[in-house]
Structure 1
Amino acid sequence: MNQAATKKVAVVTGAGSGIGRAVSLALAADGFDVVMAGRRADALEQTRSMGPAERLHAMVTDVTSYDQVKALFDHVDQKFGRLDVLFNNAGRGAPAVPIEDLPVQTWLDVVNVNLNGMFFCAREAIALMKRQDPQGGRIINNGSISAHAPRPFSIAYTATKHAVTGLTKSIALDTRPYGIACTQIDIGNAATEMTDRMAKGILQADGSTRVEPRMDVNHVAQSVVQIVNFPLQTNVQFMTIMATNMPFVGRG
């Protein structure tokens, strides 16, 4: 076994805030070298300041740019010689408006981050995981409970998160001969800036507005740590983790 194989190396996208930040810190605490990708250098440095700085490595990356994504994984290869985990997390939403009022450019922007960006990262991670020694690794795609049931006026986010399920299944099927395991984690109402609006009241399918419960984002991070510590012979294909009392089962 080569020396690089003794290190545990992870890439986390969208690491400058929210779920990506929590997962980066949890993986670093678990002994991983974590390459944190995100668009804002200041946000990545803030994440780095919150954990073991020697194991948190920031690299400004816009996942909608294939060239920047390739540079990210080339850097990982050159610095560490391998990749054990990709947490494919970067994502964005769109304003809650009727379908005909959603700007086409907004639709394209959401697709570029939530689907194209996730594919770009998976593509480069898989290529590295196939050629490294020992071969293999783990990819965890951040889906959403919106991969199963939409919120009102969320067509761009919902459509892309449904597409993530197809991406996850295809990766799991096509890469299993190479020791690569692929998971989709569907998260409901983790307490981050993105879900602050839930605590103030959010539109429901029946037309009412209700406050929704949220859960500690660190519970999501600990779930990711649990998954990555399974041997590659074991995969959690799909996981749903959510605030117990939020409307999901029976939504609408």
Structure 2
Amino acid sequence: MAGRTVFVTGASQGIGRRIALAFADRGANVALAARGDGIEETAAEIGDPSRTLPVRTDVTDESSVRSSIAETVDSFGGLDVLVNNAGIAGPTAPIGAVERDDWDRTMAVNATGPYLTAKHAVADLRESDRASVINISSISGKRPLENRTPYVASKMAVIGLTRTLAFELGEDDITVNAICPGATSGPRIEAVIEAQAESLGVEYDEAKRRVFTEDAALETLVDADDVAEMALFLASDAARHVTAQDVNVDGGTAWY
């Protein structure tokens, strides 16, 4: 990855931070895009200011996305990899109790965000010798998750975006893939499990088992570093002919 430039949304924490660190460890220049101060912490963890660019970005705001990508290209001379990781969990509630504002916000971050970044990155990606778009979806984009309708719908949308972009950009040798993580260890999934426990009227450990680990072959949550390793592979020369795919990193929960 030496000399290549990667733009990672949601790079302030969780999976996004681990993806940014993984690319930086392999020598890439990394633009760290997110709204919060965590991007500065990610940059400090990388420890090489010459190869990091913390850039405040709201993926739901087109002008913010446009300016962040332009700043990245100006700083590093091009763009090779776009990782659309920014996302929110959305509400945990049956559909009749989901507020319209919560629905709109979940779709704006999880589905409109990847559209906006792709829209404004594609011209620069076309100039790369090995360009790749990696969208972080979820196994919830493939199978039901009770009381999480906005999240599931948004992650299904990401898979549709991935497949369509792969064919739209294929003539430019740009690969486009989605990673579908299972429930991934970290603060976000802990909050989701707590909300599910409350919704189901059970204890935290029972909600974790019933909703996330009971039907996984490995019976465990996913580690964010495993998702990062898959992102590295999909952006590598070894995956030059892997495109239009939604790849599970889920401990054996979904099989399609």
TM-score (norm 1): 0.87
Matched, 1:142 2:136: yes
CA distance in structure 1 between the aligned counterparts of 2:240 and 2:179, rounded to whole angstroms: 18
Matched, 1:239 2:247: yes
1:54-84 Cα distance to aligned partner (Å, 9 max, x none): 3221000000000000001111221222111
The answer on whether the counterparts of 2:233 and 2:239 sit within 8 Å (CA) in structure 1 is no
1:99-121 Cα distance to aligned partner (Å, 9 max, x none): 12111011111111011111000
Query: What is the SS of the residue equivalent to 1:211?
Result: helix
Give the superposed CA RMSD.
2.5
> What is the aligned counterpart of 1:221 among 220, 224, 228?
228
1:22-75 Cα distance to aligned partner (Å, 9 max, x none): 0000100011000000001x2111111212333221000000000000001111
The answer on whether the counterparts of 1:139 and 1:183 sit within 8 Å (CA) in structure 2 is yes
Shift of 1:207: 8.5
Shift of 1:230: 2.5
Shift of 1:141: 0.3
Matched, 1:157 2:164: no
Report the AA paired with residue 242 of structure 1: D
More helix as a share of residues: 2
CA distance in structure 1 between the aligned counterparts of 2:232 and 2:254, rounded to whole angstroms: 26
Q: State the aligned residue count.
A: 240
CA distance in structure 1 between the aligned counterparts of 2:222 and 2:89, rounded to whole angstroms: 20
Residues 199, 151 of structure 1: CA spacing in aligned structure 2 closer, same or farther, 3 A cutoff?
closer
The answer on whether the counterparts of 1:9 and 1:80 sit within 8 Å (CA) in structure 2 is yes
TM-score (norm 2): 0.86
Aligned equivalent of 1:3: none
Query: What is the SS of the residue equivalent to 1:125?
Result: helix
Shift of 1:239: 1.0
Runs of 5+ unmatched residues, structure 1: 1-5
Aligned equivalent of 1:34: 30
Query: What is the SS of the residue equivalent to 2:8?
Result: strand
After TM superposition, the structure 1 stretch with the greater mean CA deviation from structure 2, 214-223 or 174-183, is 214-223
The answer on whether the counterparts of 2:53 and 2:72 sit within 8 Å (CA) in structure 1 is no
